Amino acid sequence: MDPRQLIDRRHLDFLLHEVLDVEDLCRYARFAEHGRETFAAAIDLAQQIALDKFLPHNRKADLQEPRLVDGQVELIPEIGEAVAAFCAAGFPAVLADYDRGGMQMPFVVGAACDALFCSANAGTIAYPTLARAAANLLDVYATDEQKRLYMQPILEGRYFGTMCLSEPQAGSSLADLRTTATPQADGSYRISGAKMWISAGDHELGENIVHLVLARIHGAPAGVRGISLFIVPRWRVDADGRRGARNDVRLAGLNHKMGQRASVNTFLKFGEQGDCVGYLVGAPNNGLAQMFHMMNEERIGVGLSAIQQAAASYQYALAYARERHQGRHPDQKDAASPAVALIEHADVRRMLLLQKCYVEGGQMLAFDAALLVDRQHDADEQVREHSHLLLELLTPIVKAWNSDYALRANDLAIQVFGGYGYTRDYPVEQCWRDNRINPIHEGTNGIQALDLLGRKALMRDGAALRLLLQRIAQTCAQVADDATLAPFAADLQRAAGLVGTVTQAAGRQMAAGEVRAVLANAGHYLHLLGHVAVAWGWLRMAAAAQRALAAGTAEADFYAGKLQSCRAFFATELPQVELAARLIGATDRSAYDMRDAWF
């Protein structure tokens, strides 16, 4: 397959401009100097670097994972070359203000650029994008001095960054973290503890690594209310920004992963010698709320990365199905007749169509959420508030639905290849392995589901969910007079009605004390709402395709493919919401009342 086929720019342009109309953002003062041309230039540059620097070493980095040699992490040199090209092109500062040397691009355009790097090499892109997310957090919460010393070098591509939350004994249970912070007379803190599963936690790609560490100040309240956030640099920095002595942060070991092996994953110990210096970010005991600024950005990134790994395996499977000739149609009895291309077989077409449904629907979901980040720059206070509410609701769905269904797409891609797909002769098995982490990190999908049903869907008396259902109803009303789209609109309205009904019932049951019983079905709820959100996206894509076809176009096949994919999603996937709704709304929960001893 021609590597350029890995990235479907035509579909990306369709989403950004024909469906989401991202150029409308240029009416905001922040993006006024931009236009479709500057957006395209950034995406073109990202595509070039992704194909030239990231894709070529994707397999090599998988086979030659990071090693610990004489106390240092050793990476293959191509990783450093790719990251250097990314930084030289200015992508660490793609979102940053002009006066900080940034491009001041919309978040959704930055996400589109990141998507191309994720398709090419999900492991290597983790180094600079994690750093950029750390810089974005510091931009909101850090002091001017902290920004000068730690954020600005990240934007310049000289420093990198991490997020240090999980601990060996606690995992995702942040209320149980034990890392401590002791105040010093000079206003700094001494940090002591250990952090596990830290991506990009130690390497030699830049001058410094800025660890953002959650810790508990002595005497702080128990649980998550007593967590604070600290800057803990790998190397200490003086007041002039010069790198000084090594901080008391020690690499205790590497975690050897199933996939995404290019990105080193570490076990770090802080303060073993009693001299780990950290600096408080913002007010004490607000650390978890501050860290969620980075986590939520990363959750959108995880959902996008997951669906891009599915997009890559879909492109590989599509090219293979067109090139590989094998077998004949069931009604062809002449064994001497030529073999047909795999794509001619009905079951192969079914698997390819499902991949297209998951991939393009998931991309629409992720870019729609990214656009909501930018809508919070609107001059209208209500637009800002509504964008924030919708983003709160959709973020766990972007992360969890995309990572779940991206894996299903990866699995179907392997099946299209048959036995070859299960070997390392083709890249689809690596796509699956690289993707398998995404339902786990940045908050497992189970945690996302608990957050969605236990908090997001019911917050402010269901305001965010009502807003989403109103937006869905508006789209359905807009296409109600179109004979092709009206049946889809009717199906979507019924599914949206189910969401409203089961959410209200779940809220009443939790208010009556059945919290554990209701939240046992949180995973079903996330898939229910996720399917409805993705179906909404497909209806909007179908409407854009209908407009293009009605206007007359030389790309009739391209737009017909969108309509058929919408039809397939509504026919095969959307009906699944009825089963999920029944499970969530069931009053008899005895089917789930399995006891430990019975296993």
CA-CA-CA-CA torsion sign (255, 260, 264, 265): negative
Placement of tokens 């004390």 in the chain: 513
Bridge partner residues of 217 (DSSP): 181
| Neighbouring residues of 292: CB distance < 8 A, sequence distance ≥ 6 | none
Give the ranges where 106-255 is alpha helix by DSSP (H). 107-120, 126-141, 144-146, 152-155
The CA dihedral of 377, 382, 386, 392, to the nearest 10 degrees, is 60
The three-state secondary structure class of 424 is: coil
Alpha-carbon distance 346 to 323, whole Å?
16
Alpha-carbon distance 369 to 495, whole Å?
21
Q: Angle between the 36-49 and 107-120 helix axes, to the nearest 10 degrees?
A: 20
Give me 349's structure tokens. 């077409």
Query: CA separation (Å) from 194 to 4, 215, 352, 574?
Result: 43, 10, 45, 45
Strands 235-237 and 189-199: unpaired
Alpha-carbon distance 244 to 247, whole Å?
9
| Of residues 447, 589, 597, the one with CA closest to residue 517 | 589
| Neighbouring residues of 315: CB distance < 8 A, sequence distance ≥ 6 | 1, 5, 6, 8
Length, in residues, of the chain:
599
- The answer to whether 555 is a known catalytic residue is no
Alpha-carbon distance 343 to 322, whole Å?
6
| Neighbouring residues of 92: CB distance < 8 A, sequence distance ≥ 6 | 86, 128, 131, 132, 135, 154, 155, 156, 157
Q: What type of residue sits at position 186?
A: D
Alpha-carbon distance 313 to 291, whole Å?
33
Alpha-carbon distance 327 to 304, whole Å?
36
Alpha-carbon distance 576 to 579, whole Å?
6
Give me 148's structure tokens. 């000068």
CA-CA-CA-CA torsion sign (280, 286, 287, 292): negative
Alpha-carbon distance 323 to 325, whole Å?
6
Q: Which of 167, 442, 514, 578 is catalytic?
A: 442
**What positions carry a catalytic annotation?**
442
